[in-house]
Amino acid sequence: MSSLIIGSGFTGLGAGLSSVLQIIEAKDRPGGICASYQIDGFRFEIGGGHWIFGRDEYLLELINHFARCREYRRRSAVFFAGNLESTRDLKYKFIDYPIQNNLYALGERLASRAVDEIIHNSKRGFEGGTMSDWLIHYFGKTLYQIFFAPFHDRYTAGLYKNIAPQDPYKSPVNIKSIIDGASGNPDLSAGYNATFVYPEEGLDTLSERIACLCNVEYGKAVVKINPELKSIKLSDGKEIEFDRLISTIPLNKLMELCGFQDKPEPYTSVLVINMGVELKESKIARHGNHWLYIPDSLTGFHRVGYYSNVDPLFLPDRFRNHERYGSLYIEFAFMPDKRPSRNQIEDLIKKTEAELQEWGFIKRVLVSDSTWIDVAYTWQRPESRWVLSSIERLRSHGIISAGRYGRWNFQGILESLKEGIFEGLKAKAGQ
């Protein structure tokens, strides 16, 4: 019997790097959903923009050892298309992220009302409830109606009224910063990704170089796990016994493979449409943001990201001008059982192109492609213990569920790599 790792995303690679244990990978490449690819010279990513944020200097040095990274200061904003009644009279179409720290852009009347609501609610504690309840409590009804409700309706595929609050650091609440921002002195450094890095040669190069130092067996999917006998069965029929198993696949899939019938927590899937485009010759098309949060698109997407505003290397050599051309990603959230058909995706691509043209963002689409991430964002119901009880149950059988999806909790690439290294070291030490 031996220890094994399932999955060669960054958590699995971290574990393999620190332990030299065998990694079982279903795909023919490492990296999981964090992988780059090219179409006609345009560089895209499978799951949209995956930027490496966090300030762990040791891990940043380690990553740069494998693939040289460039550092960036985040530029992101909310874009209001004006399709909702609550957003038609706003002073600006673009409002820098986080919106609560830039209330001056709403105009004096709305900004004053929003600040009053936020200060009033801050005098009493949040007593629990749904994500919707949490957003209303901390940001007030005005800002909730203008941005947080319509955005989260798209971002969570409608779940925000039934799931627990999650990842509050994505929407930071600091009364001083909110008041300063309403007065026209915004704090643009708030949030979890104020700075980030990205490998010059793409995430696939980084993961491939780390994988070269690991023992990865590709093209072998795990189809069954017997937790009592401590054995796994692979897609080629081979069975392997283990004394310790580090799994980085989604927790719900792992529980299913083990034959546990617990009802899992909800999750949402994401359709990413990647586009290589020619930009319009207008100020609105050249806003320079790395990504935009969109609360009111008619087509239903909630984010538009610009790979090429991060680095022109995402553009083909012949189009290496990020003021004239763009490499974009557009995100849609779906419930897993609502995956669109091929024809529906083609229709979404056409509607997205038309809407971006109407906004003045693009002139035309040169190339397009789509990717589907089944388990993209994970959620929990209020007061649920499913995640903790599932992880504890698996651990009692020598199965460690690790990583962003293994622990059903949002975390970035750097934190995932760190967790993997830690779990690999523990396995190596026999702990």
**Cα 269 from Cα 392, distance rounded (Å):** 26
Query: Which pLDDT belongs to residue 302?
Result: 98
**Cα 48 from Cα 332, distance rounded (Å):** 11
Query: Which pLDDT belongs to residue 319?
Result: 93
Query: Which pLDDT belongs to residue 86?
Result: 78
**Cα 276 from Cα 142, distance rounded (Å):** 37
Name the nearest CA neighbour of 142 among 116, 119, 120, 114: 114
Report, as ranges of residue numbers, the positions in the chain whose pLDDT lies below 70: 1, 431
- Using DSSP, state whether 38 is helix, strand or coil: strand
Cα angle 36-235-4, degrees, rounded to a multiple of 5 = 75
Query: Which pLDDT belongs to residue 115?
Result: 95
List beta partners, residue 3: 244
Q: Which CATH superfamily is domain 2-30+214-265+385-428 in?
A: FAD/NAD(P)-binding domain (3.50.50.60)
% of residues, the chain, pLDDT over 90 = 83
Kindly report, residue by residue over 87-136, the tens digit of the pLDDT: 777 778 899 999 999 999 998 999 999 999 999 988 888 888 999 999 99
268 CB neighbour count, 10 Å cutoff: 22
**Cα 173 from Cα 211, distance rounded (Å):** 40
**Cα 92 from Cα 82, distance rounded (Å):** 10
Q: What is the CA radius of gyration of the chain?
A: 22
Buried b (16+ CB within 10 A) or exposed e, 11-27: bbbbbbbbbebbbbbbe
Query: Which pLDDT belongs to residue 123?
Result: 84
Query: Which pLDDT belongs to residue 419?
Result: 97
Kindly report, residue by residue over 393-406, the tens digit of the pLDDT: 999 999 999 999 99
**Cα 284 from Cα 261, distance rounded (Å):** 51
In the predicted model, what is the mean pLDDT of the chain?
94
Which residues of the chain are in CATH 3.50.50.60 domains? 2-30+214-265+385-428
**Residue owning tokens 């401590």:** 230
Name the nearest CA neighbour of 9 among 153, 202, 216: 216
Query: Which pLDDT belongs to residue 431?
Result: 66
43 CB neighbour count, 10 Å cutoff: 21
